[in-house]
């Protein structure tokens, strides 16, 4: 029976609120509306529910869904069957606004295969829900959820979909509606009766998260032998242990093993030899490896290599390689040439589960300190399956009898082995495995949901190298350090019972009482909030979770920031995310702020705020913000859990007070920037063209109009500033403003068309003609070498043609944006090629005559194209006079409309202009052009992002959160991780300890801050240091020198309070929320050796003793204290400021 249900959704901050649900046996069919839901409007996601459990029901619930439309391919008569099952059919067009970050990872072809793929997920506990979330966000064609069981309170520890109102309902039925909200383009259906192997034929990939080995072997055997094969994945999470098994069939094609762009090199020379030696320019290191296949293009002289035939690389080196080819009789190399890697498909032959259990081959490792763990867990998971089959239940947490039974099963399996038998069974580890076997922990489900979700994408698309074939993982280090009392593991009839069965009620209480600061509520932040809510973090009256983010929700966020819906677009991220998290767990005590955590908001995030925190979790997307939070955590002694993603890659870093180095202790090398002259005159790749295009866009449409307005708002102040600057930059600014208001001023749309057409001529014809006039093709450098040698490419000017659509498209987009800056209405006819061509034909293009004395910058070290002149001041005065004349010609109140680049709106013509600029320039230089999407990735500096790596990173971080909130773990218990789900690669290692500085019997690290209370005087501070064998010779506050031993008058300050000196000399008012200030002290030991000491905090406003006691830190008045980073000797820097600040 089917019925139609209408859902009314508010446009406020609600998410996953209780909804009207279908009663068992009924199906819900709701149609999707395209418009964003507003308050009081109707939102109808499409939901399919099949309750009969038959293949026919699944395939026929919606005759248009095409869930089973690949059935006709199962038997192809005499045709050779395909060796892998990828999505087929005609998928819908890709919504590039929604999926832009995912497209940057996968590309269009992979996305099309995903959109045509049907996936089954069996088992809708926490792991199944996480996998479903990730693949629905990715955008497959359909997902069928299978589960015969009912929701239990136990499930609420790990499943973000269920609420307490769902207890007793079928898991699949209770899941479908909320999962549908994640992506209305995915058809979601359910199966709630026993699954048969014949039903699997409707899918390209099937995932089992809670099935017996016996059933799994039966299903896998069917999938393995099916034509075409069906990709089979089995995964389990058992407490702090997890496993994945993949079988993608007897022959599975991987089209792209790593997802990286093909490597290229610019050729400098090729020898006539056997083998030939190919040398490339030293612009960038080559990334080729021995055995790679490469093709050549644009080679002059040795043209035989331009035949497109792949050739093998040998003896690969940073800037050269040998070619497995005899070029002795080829033409002599003259110049030019590009060498490009050819990525070859790879065929993998998977073993079925039954065979792989006996002969697993190499396990995928995650932690080399646990090298022997995977073979052990391979037995343990089989033993657990045997335990469940024989006793029809899981082992009971804390039951020694059940643990011994599991140990016995494991030993029996091990004894039966003839190959791969283990010499020793770790019984302690098996105890942990047994006690937590029933629990699905949220962090483990999140991590494995990311791993398995990515494997589903691989199975459906052939993109990235599959997991081959077993992966085992554990995080027993997350357990409390002290022995656990079995009574502490017993359920207490709460939503956290599964977590309590592993960690105990004592740690659960610590989680609930925690005060947590999550910085950022984008993709990482949404996952962290979900995890925190499920774990019970900050869910008691003593707990508090604060999240802050100053950004608002955009459409492109919805493909991975899963707490947001399309009706939330434009709303504050932190507010929506907080409301969503509170809907997952109503006990969550959460405060959402919209402040950027920065020096400017330290009145919001003040000392009291930081001192009360238990832990800080970063969910940021830029290094500068991370460094700031890192410094605050250093200062206030707070653990910082750091993570980040880049496409399929993710990393986590634990920053633990006094145990590890801080985030800022090591930096990535800066990204290599192309020289300015390369970008502006000598580009040799599309990145150079796009960098130039964005620079021109911002200069023409944002900076110059803004500069015009700056002048028009206050002409006197503006011209005075230009005169005072008196440099080449000021001259350029004035010239651009005058040009905009005089020669290039537009009053009608035809003027805008004229401007765009003349810009085309200037950029792509005249400038190239000038460049090649100044440097002809046969030009030589001062030492006689050819000027146009690699990597330089000799350009050719373009001839504008109204018959070339790309030429007209540039004029159309550029004229529309130019009209916007002048506030000119845009006529409809501009989008008609014929009418636009007619308007362009009216433009008179003056002839171009190259200048003989033109100056073109060729110095790669130059940072500006402006050339200074001794006459700059005189020229500026003349320009100001011209500008004043221009102003008089303007209508009263005239202002321009600067256009700020926005990459994520495909209707605003911003990327049309930038991609047109870049591609026309590429055409000048013979560089391959790119489509608008690729241009958006590069020019918009889009960071590739997918839900799977985000989920994995946050799961790993939350496994560390258990350790942080418990306390007492050693540095070797913590794990930093780098993972690449594309390969797949997992690399875990303990964090690096901080550097230790020693002096006499003391030692300190970057974490140490020395604290002095009781509002001390300058004399007391100096004496306090002297007692430590340290002689202070310079004390500074900010940029002000409070004391230096070289200045006799400073001795008059000895008995003054340091706070008074800071206020008087520093001329600052310490705000009411600030109870201390920090001084940097330069010291020497008794042998006159400089000693770097920590920063010293001077408390002047409160009883430090009571504050420190509140923080549970030992306090000794005027003694060493835990704290911050080293103080350096800054005497030289301070001396120059001394006279003005102290009145010496």
DSSP assignment string, 29-41: --PPPSSPP-TT-
Compute the distance between CA of residue 62 and CA of residue 188 in angstroms, rounded to an integer: 11
pLDDT of residue 54: 33
pLDDT of residue 885: 92
Dihedral-angle region of residue 335 (phi above 0 means left; psi in -120 to 50 means alpha; beta otherwise): beta
Higher per-residue pLDDT: 1136 or 1011:
1011
Section 434-456 average pLDDT: 98
- Which two structure tokens, joined as six digits, stand for 201? 């034929």
- Which two structure tokens, joined as six digits, stand for 1064? 């008087």
pLDDT of residue 856: 86
Out of 210-224, 365-379, 1109-1123, pick the least confident: 1109-1123
What is residue 1081's three-state secondary structure? strand
| Banded model confidence at residue 891, pLDDT cuts 50, 70, 90 | very high
Section 846-875 average pLDDT: 76
Compute the distance between CA of residue 725 and CA of residue 729 in angstroms, rounded to an integer: 8
Element (H, E) at 989: strand 985-989
Q: What is the pLDDT of residues 779-809, one digit of tens each?
A: 999 899 999 999 999 999 999 999 999 999 9
pLDDT of residue 326: 96
Chain CA centroid to CA 603, Å: 29
Q: Is the pLDDT of residue 572 over 80?
A: yes
Nearest to 629 by CA among 599, 657, 656: 599
Compute the distance between CA of residue 73 and CA of residue 76 in angstroms, rounded to an integer: 6
Cα–Cα distances in Å, from 86 out to 70, 134, 226, 298, 423? 10, 19, 13, 36, 43
Compute the distance between CA of residue 846 and CA of residue 754 in angstroms, rounded to an integer: 12
Q: Is the pLDDT of residue 38 over 70?
A: no
- Which two structure tokens, joined as six digits, stand for 160? 């973000």
CB atoms within 10 A of CB 1003: 11
Percent of the chain with pLDDT over 70: 87
pLDDT of residue 874: 83
pLDDT of residue 90: 55
Section 437-466 average pLDDT: 98
| Residue 69 CA neighbour count, 13 Å, CB half | 15
Higher per-residue pLDDT: 291 or 873:
291
| Banded model confidence at residue 904, pLDDT cuts 50, 70, 90 | confident
pLDDT of residue 86: 60
Compute the distance between CA of residue 833 and CA of residue 267 in angstroms, rounded to an integer: 41
| Banded model confidence at residue 864, pLDDT cuts 50, 70, 90 | low
DSSP string, 171-220: HHHHHHHHHHTT-TTSEEEEE-S---GGGGGG-SEEEESS--HHHHHHHH
CB atoms within 10 A of CB 853: 5
| Banded model confidence at residue 869, pLDDT cuts 50, 70, 90 | low
pLDDT of residue 57: 34
Nearest to 142 by CA among 230, 199, 203, 225: 203
Q: Is the pLDDT of residue 722 over 50?
A: yes
Compute the distance between CA of residue 366 and CA of residue 1045 in angstroms, rounded to an integer: 56
Compute the distance between CA of residue 512 and CA of residue 699 in angstroms, rounded to an integer: 53
Compute the distance between CA of residue 323 and CA of residue 328 in angstroms, rounded to an integer: 12
What is residue 300's three-state secondary structure? strand
| Banded model confidence at residue 1103, pLDDT cuts 50, 70, 90 | very low
| Banded model confidence at residue 85, pLDDT cuts 50, 70, 90 | low
- Which two structure tokens, joined as six digits, stand for 678? 């390369």
Q: Are strands 346-348 and 276-280 parallel, antiparallel or unpaired?
A: unpaired
Q: Is the pLDDT of residue 281 over 90?
A: yes
The residues, any chain, with a CB within 8 Å of residue 39's CB and separated by 6 or more, are 10, 11, 12
Compute the distance between CA of residue 1102 and CA of residue 1144 in angstroms, rounded to an integer: 33
φ and ψ of 1034, to 5 deg: -155, 130
Q: Is the pLDDT of residue 440 over 70?
A: yes
Q: Is the pLDDT of residue 75 over 80?
A: no
Residues labelled catalytic: 677
DSSP tag of 661: -
Q: Is the pLDDT of residue 1107 over 60?
A: no
Out of 60-64, 300-304, 824-828, pick the least confident: 60-64
Compute the distance between CA of residue 143 and CA of residue 175 in angstroms, rounded to an integer: 12
Beta bridge partners of 46: none
Q: What is the pLDDT of residues 241-254, one digit of tens each?
A: 999 999 999 999 99
Compute the distance between CA of residue 971 and CA of residue 964 in angstroms, rounded to an integer: 11
Q: What is the pLDDT of residues 1056-1067, one digit of tens each?
A: 999 999 999 988
Cα–Cα distances in Å, from 260 out to 105, 264, 345, 647, 779? 9, 12, 14, 10, 38
Q: Is the pLDDT of residue 927 over 90?
A: yes
Q: What's the alpha-carbon Rg for the chain, to the nearest Å?
A: 34
| Banded model confidence at residue 1071, pLDDT cuts 50, 70, 90 | confident
Q: Are strands 1076-1084 and 1090-1091 parallel, antiparallel or unpaired?
A: antiparallel
pLDDT of residue 867: 54
Q: Is the pLDDT of residue 234 over 80?
A: yes
Compute the distance between CA of residue 210 and CA of residue 234 in angstroms, rounded to an integer: 8
What is residue 255's three-state secondary structure? coil
| Banded model confidence at residue 623, pLDDT cuts 50, 70, 90 | very high
Q: What is the pLDDT of residues 452-491, one digit of tens each?
A: 999 999 999 999 999 999 999 999 999 999 999 999 999 9
Cα–Cα distances in Å, from 478 out to 744, 906, 966? 67, 46, 9
Element (H, E) at 457: helix 442-461
Compute the distance between CA of residue 594 and CA of residue 1091 in angstroms, rounded to an integer: 42
| Banded model confidence at residue 703, pLDDT cuts 50, 70, 90 | very high
Q: Is the pLDDT of residue 981 over 60?
A: yes
DSSP tag of 701: I
Q: Are strands 1040-1044 and 1031-1037 parallel, antiparallel or unpaired?
A: antiparallel
pLDDT of residue 873: 80
Element (H, E) at 670: none
Higher per-residue pLDDT: 756 or 72:
756
Q: What is the pLDDT of residues 743-768, one digit of tens each?
A: 999 999 999 999 999 999 999 999 99
Nearest to 927 by CA among 794, 1034, 1094, 799: 794
Q: Is the pLDDT of residue 876 over 70?
A: yes
pLDDT of residue 84: 53
| Banded model confidence at residue 863, pLDDT cuts 50, 70, 90 | low
Residues of 459-490 as b/e, b for ≥16 C-beta within 10 angstroms? Answer: bbbbbbbbbbbbbbbbbbbbbbeeebeeebbe
- Which two structure tokens, joined as six digits, stand for 931? 């489509």
| Banded model confidence at residue 696, pLDDT cuts 50, 70, 90 | very high
| Residue 205 CA neighbour count, 13 Å, CB half | 33
Compute the distance between CA of residue 570 and CA of residue 1123 in angstroms, rounded to an integer: 41
Say if residues 1078 and 1066 touch (Cβ distance below 8 Å).
Answer: no
| Banded model confidence at residue 1122, pLDDT cuts 50, 70, 90 | very low
Q: What is the pLDDT of residues 94-140, one digit of tens each?
A: 888 889 999 999 999 999 999 999 999 999 999 999 999 999 999 99
Mean pLDDT (the chain, rounded): 88
Compute the distance between CA of residue 597 and CA of residue 520 in angstroms, rounded to an integer: 9
Q: Is the pLDDT of residue 82 over 80?
A: no
The residues, any chain, with a CB within 8 Å of residue 725's CB and separated by 6 or more, are none
pLDDT of residue 200: 97
φ and ψ of 238, to 5 deg: -125, 95
- Which two structure tokens, joined as six digits, stand for 511? 């989680």
């Amino acid at each position: 029976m089917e019925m139609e249900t209408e859902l009314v959704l508010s446009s406020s901050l609600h998410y996953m609120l209780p909804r009207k649900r279908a009663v068992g046996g009924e199906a819900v069919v709701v149609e999707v509306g395209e418009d964003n839901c507003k308050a009081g409007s109707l939102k109808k996601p499409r939901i399919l529910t099949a309750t009969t459990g038959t293949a026919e029901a699944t395939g026929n619930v919606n005759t248009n869904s095409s869930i089973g439309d690949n059935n006709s391919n199962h038997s192809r008569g005499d045709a050779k069957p395909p060796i892998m099952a990828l999505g087929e059919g005609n998928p819908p067009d890709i919504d590039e606004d929604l999926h832009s970050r995912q497209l940057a990872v996968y590309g269009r072809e992979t996305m099309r295969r995903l959109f045509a793929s049907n996936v089954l997920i069996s088992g809708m506990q926490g792991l199944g829900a996480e996998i479903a979330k990730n693949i629905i966000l990715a955008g497959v064609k359909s997902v069928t959820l299978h589960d015969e069981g009912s929701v239990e309170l136990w499930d609420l520890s790990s499943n973000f979909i269920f609420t307490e109102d769902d207890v007793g309902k079928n898991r699949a039925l209770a899941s479908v509606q909320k999962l549908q909200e994640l992506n209305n383009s995915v058809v979601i259906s359910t199966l709630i009766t026993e699954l048969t192997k014949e039903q699997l034929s409707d899918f390209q990939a099937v995932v089992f998260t809670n099935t017996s080995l016996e059933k799994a072997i039966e299903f896998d055997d069917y999938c393995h032998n099916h034509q075409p094969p069906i990709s089979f994945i089995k995964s389990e999470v058992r407490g702090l242990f997890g496993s994945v098994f993949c079988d993608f069939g007897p022959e599975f094609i991987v089209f792209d093993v790593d997802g990286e762009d093909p490597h290229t090199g610019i050729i400098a020379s090729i020898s006539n030899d056997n083998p030939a030696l190919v040398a490339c320019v030293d612009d960038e290191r080559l990334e080729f490896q021995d055995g790679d296949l490469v093709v050549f293009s644009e080679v002059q002289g040795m043209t035989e290599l331009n035949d497109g035939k792949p050739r093998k690389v040998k003896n690969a080196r940073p800037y050269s390689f040998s070619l497995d080819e005899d070029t002795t009789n080829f033409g002599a190399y003259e110049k030019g040439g590009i060498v490009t890697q050819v990525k070859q498909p790879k065929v993998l032959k998977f073993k079925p589960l039954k065979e792989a259990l006996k002969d697993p081959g190499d396990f995928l490792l995650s932690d080399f300190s646990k090298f022997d763990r995977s073979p052990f867990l391979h037995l343990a998971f089989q033993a657990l399956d045997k335990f469940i089959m024989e006793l029809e239940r899981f082992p009971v947490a804390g039951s020694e009898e059940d643990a011994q039974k599991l140990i016995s099963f494991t030993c029996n399996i091990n004894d039966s082995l003839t190959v791969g038998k283990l010499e020793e069974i770790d019984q302690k580890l098996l105890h942990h495995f047994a006690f937590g076997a029933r629990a699905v922990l949220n962090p483990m489900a999140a991590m494995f949901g990311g791993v398995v979700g990515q494997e589903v994408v691989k199975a459906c698309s052939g993109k990235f190298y599959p997991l081959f074939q077993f992966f085992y993982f554990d995080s027993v280090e997350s357990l409390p350090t002290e022995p656990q009392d079995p009574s502490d593991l017993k359920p207490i009839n709460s939503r956290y019972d599964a977590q309590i069965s592993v960690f105990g009620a004592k740690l659960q209480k610590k989680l609930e009482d925690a005060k947590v600061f999550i910085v950022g509520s984008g993709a990482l932040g949404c996952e962290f909030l979900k995890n925190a809510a499920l774990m019970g973090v900050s869910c008691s009256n003593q707990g508090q979770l604060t999240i802050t983010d100053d950004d608002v929700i955009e459409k492109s966020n919805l493909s991975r920031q899963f707490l947001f819906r399309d009706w939330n677009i434009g709303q504050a991220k932190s507010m929506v995310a907080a409301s969503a998290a509170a809907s997952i767990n109503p006990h969550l005590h959460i405060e959402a702020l919209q402040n950027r955590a920065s020096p400017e908001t330290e009145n919001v995030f003040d000392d009291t705020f930081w001192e009360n925190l238990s832990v800080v979790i970063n969910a940021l997307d830029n290094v500068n913000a991370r460094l700031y939070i890192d410094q605050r955590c250093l200062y206030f002694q707070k653990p910082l859990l750091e993570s980040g993603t880049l496409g399929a890659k993710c990393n986590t870093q634990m920053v633990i007070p006094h145990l590890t180095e801080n985030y800022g202790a090591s930096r990535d090398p800066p990204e290599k920037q192309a020289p300015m002259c390369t970008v502006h005159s000598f580009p040799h790749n599309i990145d150079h063209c796009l960098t130039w295009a964005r620079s021109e866009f911002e200069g023409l449409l944002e900076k110059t109009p803004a500069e015009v307005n700056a002048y028009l708002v206050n002409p006197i102040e503006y011209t005075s500033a230009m005169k005072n600057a008196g440099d080449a930059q000021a001259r350029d600014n004035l010239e651009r403003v005058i040009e905009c208001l005089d020669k290039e001023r537009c009053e009608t749309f035809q003027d805008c068309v004229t401007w765009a057409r003349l810009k085309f001529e200037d950029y792509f014809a005249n400038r190239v003609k000038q460049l090649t006039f100044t440097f002809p093709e046969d030009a030589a450098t001062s030492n006689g070498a050819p000027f146009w040698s690699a990597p330089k490419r000799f350009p050719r000017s373009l001839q504008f043609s109204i018959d070339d659509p790309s030429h007209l498209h540039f004029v159309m987009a550029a004229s529309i944006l130019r009209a916007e800056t002048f506030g000119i209405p845009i006529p409809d006819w501009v989008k008609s090629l014929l009418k636009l061509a007619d308007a362009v034909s009216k433009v008179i293009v003056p002839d171009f005559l190259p200048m003989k004395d033109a100056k073109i910058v060729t110095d790669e070290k130059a940072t500006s194209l402006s050339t200074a002149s001794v006459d700059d001041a005189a020229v500026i005065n003349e320009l100001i006079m011209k500008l004043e004349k221009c102003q008089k010609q303007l209508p009263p109140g005239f202002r321009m409309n600067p256009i700020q680049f926005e990459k994520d709106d495909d209707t605003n013509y911003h990327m049309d202009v930038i991609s047109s600029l870049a591609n026309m320039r590429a055409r000048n230089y013979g560089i391959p052009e790119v489509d608008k999407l690729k241009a958006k990735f590069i020019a918009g500096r889009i960071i590739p992002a997918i839900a799977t790596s985000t989920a994995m990173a946050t799961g790993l971080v939350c496994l560390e959160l258990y350790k942080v909130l418990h306390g007492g773990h050693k540095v070797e218990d913590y794990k930093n991780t780098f993972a690449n789900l594309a390969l797949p690669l997992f690399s875990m290692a303990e964090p690096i300890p901080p550097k230790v500085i020693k002096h006499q019997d003391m030692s300190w690290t970057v974490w140490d801050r020395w604290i002095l209370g009781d509002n001390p005087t300058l004399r007391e501070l100096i004496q306090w240091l002297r007692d430590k064998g340290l002689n202070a010779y310079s004390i500074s506050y900010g940029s002000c020198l409070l004391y230096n031993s070289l200045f006799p008058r400073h001795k008059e300050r000895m008995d003054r309070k340091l706070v008074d000196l800071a206020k008087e000399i520093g001329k600052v008012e310490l705000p009411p929320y600030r109870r201390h200030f920090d001084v940097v002290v330069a010291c020497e030991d008794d042998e006159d050796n400089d000693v770097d000491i920590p920063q010293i905090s001077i408390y002047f406003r409160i009883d430090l003793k009571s504050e420190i006691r509140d923080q549970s830190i030992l306090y000794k008045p005027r003694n060493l204290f835990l704290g911050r980073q080293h103080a350096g000797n800054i005497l030289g820097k301070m001396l120059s400021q001394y006279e003005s600040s102290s009145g010496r």
